[in-house]
Amino acid sequence: MTYNDWKKFTSYFFKNYKSSEALKEFGKFILTIISIIIIGVVMGLLLNYSWWLAIPIVLFILLAFYVSMVWIEWKFVK
């Protein structure tokens, strides 16, 4: 998220903070941050345990990236 995106998001949120849509977006943002932190901690623990786990981790990240790109393409059709 760029600085301009953050400014737009905060201005939208503070104008519409009582609406359910703004609260849903804020909740999704918080859940995304928490999930990224959890994934980082799990990856760090697995890599600390064994460097051979790096290959499945990288493959999982690539698969997750591919699935997310397909989902975004499906969800936000032009």
32-66, pLDDT tens digit by residue? 888 888 888 877 887 787 777 777 877 888 888 88
Q: What Cα–Cα distance (Å) separates residue 62 from each residue in 2, 4, 43, 55, 58?
A: 23, 28, 14, 11, 6
Q: What Cα–Cα distance (Å) separates residue 76 from each residue in 48, 49, 73?
A: 38, 39, 6
* pTM for this entry: 0.49
Hey, how many other C-beta atoms are within 10 angstroms of the C-beta on 17? Answer: 10
Give the span between the Cα atoms of 47 and 56, in whole angstroms: 11
